[in-house]
Amino acid sequence: MDFLPGFHPVGVAQWALVVTSIGIVLLLSFLVLNSRQAGLSHIPGPFLARYTDGWALYTAWRGIHFHNKVHVQRGLQARYGDVVRTGPRSVTVFDPAAVPVIYGVRSKLDKGNAYVPFRQAGMTTSLLSIPDEKTHSQYRKLVSNAYSMTSLKGYEPYVDDMVNRFVEVCNQHAFARKPMNLSLWCQYYCFDVVSKITMGKPLGSMQGEGHDAYGLVQRVRAFGFYSGLVSQMPWLHKVLQDNALMRKTRPSPFMKVVGGTVQARLRAPDPEDQPRPDLLSHFVATHAGYPSLMDEKQVLIMTSGNLIAGGLSPSASFDELCRYLATHPGSQDKLYAELQQAQCRLPASYDHVKNLPYLEGTIREAYRLHSSTSFNLQRVTGTAGLELPNGVQIPPNTNIGCPAGAINQDVRVFGADAAVQPRAVDAARERNE
Ligand code: HEM
Ligand SMILES: *[C@@H]1O[C@H](CO)[C@@H](O)[C@H](O)[C@H]1NC(C)=O
């Protein structure tokens, strides 16, 4: 019996449909408003990028997955020009002349949220992830003496120890006619070097047959993948990592060993087996002088951050340098001849090799083609906005950055053969002279 004619009970399915539709309409309105408010409608770019960082996230994933990041960047530049909108509030600048304007020490732009994934749970003061330039330079000043030229020269004997071990390993493989995975050993070598100059002792990756000590190489690689993606949509970091749950997880074996060393050195700053200052001695001395700014936790953050930052980029660069030399025997011969003529001994001293043009050119060319970061080093325009050298106006509070990979292949800077990969090292030499 139907006692309410005309009334049909609304099912769960219909309600869900209504709620979802309202949700979608609200989300779309938010995206459109957010896009309008950014004031970037005068900057061309892919349609989706105007409304969502999802475009950049997807593009970053493809770049990592297919190893074609620079190719994708150059495609964007060819299509949209030197200034491209790559997100609702993000702009990518391909003009080499903009590099000093965005990154120069005098421009003092703050870092953007792309650095948020570098924040370990609960720790906000690693140098790399401090966003505002004032705080950053304050912390940088605290540790800058550890990186002065005089200090660097003091670390040289430490590096020599590691060079000797590396050469020993190469020789063992050569005499036994055993293939050696140079990529892998470049990583072992660089992480041992940075550990030796930071804490006075290597992690031990180069011992015996060589192994990934404390799983650091593996972890750093996984983190590179994570940060490459999450930097494009930084709020994801809060959801995935920087939350109460993750803060309670146990420290990794790597953090444990670094923590142990730091604690010991804070208690006994000058151990007997430590004849020369390493980076940690500088940090500990700063702690003694400015205990409130450089507290014990800060010493740990600087030490562990240095180990990761100082192992990752150098090992990738060294690996690529070796690969270019291995694939260009002519360049290898030329480099060898230059080193022989300079009567270079092993291990070479910095003063002995610092003015060798072909060596310098080889290293610079490897840096040029080096595929360091998977995202732009992001900065944020200040309250006044920013005028780019080509006259384009960028409004205030806009994320801005230059893609190093594409700019390093820009014909305006490096000449017509800039995109030849890998190109003869001779060209690098000419540029360098
Ligand atoms: C081939 C060598 C290297 C390359 C290509 C390289 C590259 C980089 C890049 C791209 C950044 C980020 C800069 C930014 O976001 O603005 C950085 C930061 C950093 N690197 Fe390196 N790096 C190298 C060697 C080293 C070494 C040997 C150490 C330590 C001994 C080191 C320690 C650091 C530290 C502590 C930071 C954070 C600095 C800050 O934010 O003020 N790096 N590096
Ligand atoms: C050498 O090591 C690299 C880096 O770990 C790895 O990607 C590569 O597959 C290894 N090559 C061989 C032949 O094992």
Q: What is the pLDDT, as a whole number, of residue 106? A: 84
Asked whether the predicted pLDDT for residue 5 surpasses 60, the reply is no
In a domain, 41, yes or no: no
Q: How many Å is the maximal CA-CA distance in the chain?
A: 106
Q: What is the pLDDT, as a whole number, of residue 430? A: 44
Query: Is 87 in contact with 47 (CB distance < 8 Å)?
Result: no
Span from the CA of 337 to the centroid of ligand 2 (angstroms): 30
Angle at 95 between CA 72 and CA 53, to 5 degrees: 45
CA–CA dist 433, 430 (Å, integer): 5
DSSP string, 261-283: HHHHHHHSSS-TT--S--HHHHH
Provide the 3-class DSSP secondary structure of residue 241: coil
* 218 C-beta closer than 6 A to ligand 2: no
Q: What is the pLDDT, as a whole number, of residue 6? A: 59
Residues 6+ apart with CB under 8 A from 304: 254, 255, 258
Q: Which atom of ligand 2 is nearest to the CA of 179?
A: 13
Categorize the per-residue pLDDT at 335 as very low, low, confident or very high, splitting at 50, 70 and 90: very high
Highest mean pLDDT among 170-184, 262-276, 372-386, 410-424: 170-184
Q: What is the pLDDT, as a whole number, of residue 314? A: 92
In a domain, 366, yes or no: no
Query: Is 429 in contact with 423 (CB distance < 8 Å)?
Result: no
Q: Which structure tokens are listed for 90? A: 């993000």
Cα 273 to the center of its chain, rounded Å? 33
In this predicted model, what pLDDT tens digit does every residue of 181-209 receive, in sequence order?
999 999 999 999 999 999 999 999 999 99
Q: Which atom of ligand 2 is nearest to the CA of 221?
A: 5
Ligand 1: residues within 6 Å at CB?
127-128, 140, 194, 305-306, 309-310, 313-314, 317, 372-373, 377
Which helix (H) or strand (E) is 20 found in, with range?
helix 12-37
In a domain, 112, yes or no: no
CA–CA dist 332, 368 (Å, integer): 18
Q: What is the CATH number of the domain that holds 258?
A: 1.10.630.10
Span from the CA of 144 to the centroid of ligand 1 (angstroms): 13
Prediction pTM value: 0.87
Q: Which structure tokens are listed for 352? A: 């002995």
User: Looking at ligand 1, which residue's alpha carbon is closest to its atom 19?
Assistant: 309
Which one has a higher pLDDT value, 121 or 300?
A: 300
Span from the CA of 176 to the centroid of ligand 1 (angstroms): 37
Span from the CA of 342 to the centroid of ligand 1 (angstroms): 30
* 322 C-beta closer than 6 A to ligand 2: no
> What is the rounded average pLDDT of the residues 276-295?
90
Query: Is 212 in contact with 218 (CB distance < 8 Å)?
Result: yes
Span from the CA of 309 to the centroid of ligand 1 (angstroms): 6
In a domain, 413, yes or no: no
> What is the rounded average pLDDT of the residues 141-166?
93
Residues in the chain: 433
Judged by average pLDDT, the poorest of 24-28, 375-379, 383-387 is 375-379
Span from the CA of 338 to the centroid of ligand 2 (angstroms): 30
In a domain, 406, yes or no: no
Asked whether the predicted pLDDT for residue 160 surpasses 90, the reply is yes
Which ligand is located closest to the Cα atom of residue 183? 2
Asked whether the predicted pLDDT for residue 432 surpasses 50, the reply is no
Q: What is the pLDDT, as a whole number, of residue 57? A: 95
Query: Is 44 in contact with 61 (CB distance < 8 Å)?
Result: no
Alpha-carbon torsion (213, 214, 215, 219), positive or negative: negative
In this predicted model, what pLDDT tens digit does every residue of 39-85 receive, in sequence order?
999 999 999 999 999 999 999 999 888 888 888 899 999 999 999 99
Which ligand is located closest to the Cα atom of residue 227? 1
* Strands of the 90-93 sheet, one edge to the other: 83-87, 90-93, 399-401, 379-380, 110-111
In this predicted model, what pLDDT tens digit does every residue of 72-95 receive, in sequence order?
899 999 999 999 999 999 999 999
Q: How far is CA 353 from CA 90, 196, 335, in A?
A: 42, 22, 12
In this predicted model, what pLDDT tens digit does every residue of 102-148 receive, in sequence order?
999 888 899 999 998 887 666 667 888 888 888 888 888 989 999 99
Q: How many domains does the chain have?
A: 1
Backbone angles phi, psi at 243, to 5 degrees: -135, 170
User: Looking at ligand 2, which residue's alpha carbon is closest to its atom 12?
Assistant: 181
In a domain, 7, yes or no: no
Residue with tokens 């055993």: 178
Asked whether the predicted pLDDT for residue 433 surpasses 80, the reply is no
Q: What is the pLDDT, as a whole number, of residue 34? A: 92
Which ligand is located closest to the Cα atom of residue 211? 2
User: Looking at ligand 1, which residue's alpha carbon is closest to its atom 7?
Assistant: 313
* 181 C-beta closer than 6 A to ligand 2: yes
> What is the rounded average pLDDT of the residues 337-345?
94
In a domain, 139, yes or no: yes
Q: Which long-range contacts (CB under 8 A, 24 or more apart) does 128-131 make?
A: 128/305, 128/309
Dump strand ranges (E) for 96-218: 110-111
Q: What is the pLDDT, as a whole number, of residue 418? A: 86
Q: What is the pLDDT, as a whole number, of residue 428? A: 47
Does residue 347 have a cis peptide bond before it, meaning omega lies within 30 degrees of 0?
A: yes
Closest CA to 46 of 91, 101, 5, 15: 91
CA–CA dist 122, 329 (Å, integer): 49
Q: What is the pLDDT, as a whole number, of residue 431? A: 46
Which ligand is located closest to the Cα atom of residue 180? 2
Which one has a higher pLDDT value, 385 or 6?
A: 385
Q: Which atom of ligand 1 is nearest to the CA of 316?
A: 1
* 171 C-beta closer than 6 A to ligand 2: no
CB atoms within 10 A of CB 81: 15
Asked whether the predicted pLDDT for residue 370 surpasses 90, the reply is no
Which ligand is located closest to the Cα atom of residue 217? 2
Q: Which structure tokens are listed for 318? A: 């060294």
Alpha-carbon torsion (140, 144, 149, 155), positive or negative: negative
Span from the CA of 156 to the centroid of ligand 2 (angstroms): 29
In a domain, 57, yes or no: no
Structural domain range at position 241: 117-311
* Average of per-residue pLDDT values in the chain: 88
Categorize the per-residue pLDDT at 3 as very low, low, confident or very high, splitting at 50, 70 and 90: low
Q: What is the pLDDT, as a whole number, of residue 221? A: 85
Query: Is 93 in contact with 100 (CB distance < 8 Å)?
Result: no
